[in-house]
Amino acid sequence: MALRASCPQFRILVIGKANTGKTTILHKVCNATPETKLIIYDQNGKEVHSNDHQGWRTDGTESRGEHNIEHQITFPGSHFIFHDSRGFESGSVDEMVTVRNFLRVRSDRELLKDKVHAIWYCVLMDDSRPLSDPELSFFKEGTWGVPVIAIFTKFDAQINIAFGKLLENNKSDQEAFQEAPQYAEEVFQEQYLSRLKSVPYQPKKWMHLKDMDKQENNCSELVEKTAAAIDNNGLRSLFISVQAKDLKLNIKEAIRYSGKIGSIPTDE
């Protein structure tokens, strides 16, 4: 299609603390194996060979070096470009300013290929304080029209906590095991999702991820949520076309585009 010719890659800003599972998400969405080497370019399109400054090593793991939000991360053969930002921990005002400036400047770019097309905001649930006040502060301002998908990663930790609490309530091991996922979901809705829904600029979509160590978990829900969050028909079609891994979503978009249905169905 014409849009694909002028904008061959879909650009995503990924925000989240270290160890939130960003590396795993990128690999799964791009159909890359853990051994696949990243390709990293600077803002001028020059390949970055040093592993000391961009916050990522070419083996796909996060380094201790300073993150550079302008660096463009991709995989061989992929049509995605990722930009990485650290999470907004206590006192990380500079990082927030960096992200805001990055989004503002990119929104002013004339060409669609240079703009940010979506934001994946990762919140670590294997944490003593998930969705802290500094993290919520991101949602107090707009994102220049860029849709935000909130991803609550490592939700397995919340299920484990729920399992322990059910045991404390005199449930048997089998009962606690069976009831823990639903109990964790109820706690999540009450304690965390309610806070996210109270912010001035809510994310367009949200989801939680678990069992990311399993090969069959290919982040297909994240792909569908991202597609559903994009209001622009052309940009949505671009996203779906570059993530060719999900054939069902491609078929849904083809049917929607033909006018037989009005929108992509979601599970919400």
* Residue range of the domain that includes 107: 18-229
Distance of CA 86 to the CA centre of its chain: 13
CA torsion angle 22 26 31 34 (round to 10):
-50
- Tally the domains of the chain: 1
Residue 243 belongs to some domain of the structure = no
> Where are any strands of DSSP class E within 173-231?
205-208
What is the sign, positive or negative, of the torsion defined by CA atoms of 216, 181, 160, 88? positive
Distances 258 to 235, 252, 253, 254, 264 between C-alpha atoms, Å: 16, 10, 8, 6, 12
Greater model confidence, 181 or 131: 181
Residue 259 belongs to some domain of the structure = no
CA torsion angle 100 103 108 110 (round to 10):
170
d(CA 35, CA 166): 39
- Mean confidence (pLDDT) of the chain: 83
Residue 236 belongs to some domain of the structure = no
Residue 146 belongs to some domain of the structure = yes
C-alpha closest to that of 18 among 118, 92, 97, 72: 92
Which domain CATH number covers 102? 3.40.50
Residue 214 belongs to some domain of the structure = yes
pLDDT at 222 over 80: yes
Residue 246 belongs to some domain of the structure = no
Distances 222 to 26, 151, 187, 240 between C-alpha atoms, Å: 11, 8, 22, 12
C-alpha closest to that of 149 among 225, 242, 67, 58: 225
Residue 268 belongs to some domain of the structure = no
The 3-class SS string of 44-100 reads CCCECCCCCCCCECCCCCECCCCCCCCCEEECCCCCEEEEEECCCCCCCHHHHHHHH
pTM for this model (two decimals): 0.86
Average pLDDT (215-239) is 89
What is the sign, positive or negative, of the torsion defined by CA atoms of 72, 76, 79, 80? negative
For residue range 40-69, what is the model confidence (pLDDT) as tens digits? Answer: 998 888 888 655 444 555 444 554 445 799
Among 80-84, 88-92, 164-168, 175-179, the minimum mean pLDDT is found in: 88-92
d(CA 234, CA 267): 22
Neighbours of 132 (CB within 10 A): 17
Tokens of residue 216, six digits: 């069959």
pLDDT at 108 over 60: yes
Residue 131 belongs to some domain of the structure = yes
Share of the chain above pLDDT 70, in %: 82
Task: Give SS3 for 267.
Answer: coil
For residue range 9-43, what is the model confidence (pLDDT) as tens digits? Answer: 999 999 998 888 998 999 999 888 878 888 999 88
